[in-house]
Chains A and B, each alone.
Chain A
Amino acid sequence: MSSGRPIKNYLITSKMNRKKKIRLITEYLLNKDAGDKNKMSGFLIKNGIKEEELEEFEKLTNQLNELPDREPPEKMKAAFYSKLEEYKSTLTQNEPRVYKLNILAEGLRHPALIRKLAYAAVILVLAGLAAFWYRSEIKYKNQVTSMISQMQDMQKMMMLTLLEQPSPTDRLKAISISNQINNADDKIIDALLNTLNNDENVNVRLMAVEALYNYAENPKVRIGLIRSIVKQESPIVQVALADVMVMLQEKRSVSELKKLLEKKNIDKNVETKLKSSIELLI
């Protein structure tokens, strides 16, 4: 929730009308500063607000803040990227096309992916059958863990396959999938670094920077990001990498940033950005 304005603004009168009380209670509830809150609660109670009522509001606000966020289904993402691709094609072809409904329809265009998905589906069915036979709670939990792990494997496989596709939209989808993989192994990290350094599409490279940033605790990722700095030709990716280095406070990147500065064809805006990043890192 938003934080409120300073308390001094409200210590104005002891006789408040209802609207003013309502606004003050709301300010009190949304204020995060403990000192302000103490002063405000004292003031409100002195002006006729019941302490229990204030506590109830406080408790409710805290509970609201702690409500769990629900994850959107994967097919929503697949549908979005399909529609995006359709929109792009209408820009160039000017002819109406039917929207694909889900990632399965998208995947049907790639036989290698279908084959791998079929294997994965067989594995999942077998795992499901096995779970049926093991009814004890511990065994069931193990099966669920195993299925989750296999789902993750499937995601990884799908990601790596899509990353090899010629369409940039497919490769963007691949990186999007990588964001949902909890434990990215070396294969995923290598694929992302390879994409960052070699993909011909600047948007794909930019998204790879963001995806890799999520795994920045991995030393291999950090080194990979640093080494990639001088390899980038696109100003927007150069700026993105400089930003990431500052966010990670990665002092080892200074020499690479300086090397980039020495390039003859460096964009002026990038030059300014690099200098300020180096200053922040030294």
Chain B
Amino acid sequence: MNIKTSAVITDNELMLKVKSGDIDRLGLIFERYNKALYGYFLNLTGRTDISEDLVQNVFIRILKYRTRYRGDGNFSIWIYRIAHNIFIDYVKKKSKLELSGNIEEWANVLSDSHSGDGNSMEERVSTLEKALLQLPDKKREILTLSRYKELKYREISQILGCSESAVKVRIFRALDELRKTYKELSNN
């Protein structure tokens, strides 16, 4: 979320303008959210091309349903809920086998981008990214939401449609599995 610009005009105000037909305002919303959404999808799919398409799908869906926007809640939750639903639809369409293939491909990309420099910090980052990719989709998603977007438990629970306490338990389980996988990969 772009904290610097959000005070100039709020996301809600912009979206209400889009709703009333001032479509160009969606450009400002895109500027504020495209990087975060791209990172979100890249973490989940491991594919740059698919992440680009899924970001476009978010904004196409916003245009499609713009007249339903009420503007009485947190815009971030609204847009991430759309992103979450788009990811769920994407997973339904693709077979598990293909997803695993994507992840291997992405792991290779990561390995290439970090290899050979002898920098231990970069090696740790690379190992951690690989460990993240080995997590099941749901665990990877909850860590992505809690890490990147500075969303609170309540907001994450609204995006994922579960209780706050369930969010805490799920974050812990994801971290626990990540810790074990990271340890294994570091020792190899």
Which residues of A pack against B, CB within 8 Å? 1-2, 19, 22-23, 25-27, 29-30, 56-57, 60-61, 63-73, 75-77, 79-81, 83-84, 87-88, 91, 168-169, 172, 176, 179, 201, 203, 206-207, 209-210, 213-214, 236, 239-240, 243-244, 247
Question: A176–B35 contact, CB under 8 A?
Answer: no
Distance A214 CA – B38 CA, assembled complex (angstroms)? 22
B18-64 at interface with A (beta carbon < 8 Å): 21-28, 30-31, 34-35, 38-39, 42, 48, 51-52, 55-56, 59-60, 63
Check if B8 is an interface residue, CB within 8 A of chain A: yes
Chain B residue with the shortest CB-CB distance to A207: B28
Shortest distance in angstroms between A128's beta carbon and chain B's nearest beta carbon?
Answer: 21
Question: B172–A22 contact, CB under 8 A?
Answer: yes
Q: Given the known inter-chain contacts A22-B168, A73-B52, please indicate yes or no for A243 contacting B150, CB distance below 8 A.
A: no
Question: B31–A76 contact, CB under 8 A?
Answer: no
B119-156 at interface with A (beta carbon < 8 Å): 124-125, 128-129, 143, 146-148, 150-153, 156
- Minimum-distance CB pairs A-B, first 9: A72-B38, A203-B24, A2-B152, A22-B172, A26-B168, A23-B168, A76-B52, A26-B172, A240-B8
- What residues on A are CB-neighbors of B60 within 8 Å? 83
Question: B38–A70 contact, CB under 8 A?
Answer: yes
Shortest distance in angstroms between A75's beta carbon and chain B's nearest beta carbon?
Answer: 8
Check if B178 is an interface residue, CB within 8 A of chain A: yes
Chain B residue with the shortest CB-CB distance to A60: B179
Shortest distance in angstroms between A19's beta carbon and chain B's nearest beta carbon?
Answer: 6
- What residues on B are CB-neighbors of A75 within 8 Å? 52
- What residues on A are CB-neighbors of B23 within 8 Å? 84, 87-88, 91
- What residues on B are CB-neighbors of A70 within 8 Å? 38-39, 42
Chain A residue with the shortest CB-CB distance to B146: A1
Count, chain B residues at interface, CB 8 A: 52
- What residues on B are CB-neighbors of A79 within 8 Å? 52, 56
Check if B169 is an interface residue, CB within 8 A of chain A: yes
Task: State the main secondary structure of chain A at its contact with B.
Answer: helix
Q: Given the known inter-chain contacts A2-B146, A210-B28, please indicate yes or no for A203 contacting B168, CB distance below 8 A.
A: no
Question: B34–A72 contact, CB under 8 A?
Answer: yes
Partner of A2, one of B4, B21, B34, B151: B151
Distance A75 CA – B56 CA, assembled complex (angstroms)? 11
Q: Given the known inter-chain contacts A91-B23, A176-B31, please indicate yes or no for A19 contacting B169, CB distance below 8 A.
A: yes
Check if B97 is an interface residue, CB within 8 A of chain A: no
Question: A73–B48 contact, CB under 8 A?
Answer: yes
Distance A73 CA – B49 CA, assembled complex (angstroms)? 10
Check if B182 is an interface residue, CB within 8 A of chain A: yes
Question: A84–B128 contact, CB under 8 A?
Answer: no
- What residues on B are CB-neighbors of A176 within 8 Å? 27, 31
Question: B31–A72 contact, CB under 8 A?
Answer: no
Question: A65–B28 contact, CB under 8 A?
Answer: no
- What residues on A are CB-neighbors of B129 within 8 Å? 67
Question: B22–A203 contact, CB under 8 A?
Answer: yes
Shortest distance in angstroms between B8's beta carbon and chain A's nearest beta carbon?
Answer: 5
Chain A residue with the shortest CB-CB distance to B25: A203
Question: A247–B7 contact, CB under 8 A?
Answer: yes
Question: B63–A87 contact, CB under 8 A?
Answer: yes
Distance A242 CA – B66 CA, assembled complex (angstroms)? 29
Distance A60 CA – B56 CA, assembled complex (angstroms)? 32
Q: Given the known inter-chain contacts A63-B124, A240-B8, please indicate yes or no for A30 contacting B146, CB distance below 8 A.
A: yes
7 residue pairs from A and B, CB less than 8 Å apart:
A1-B146, A63-B125, A80-B30, A84-B24, A243-B8, A244-B8, A247-B7
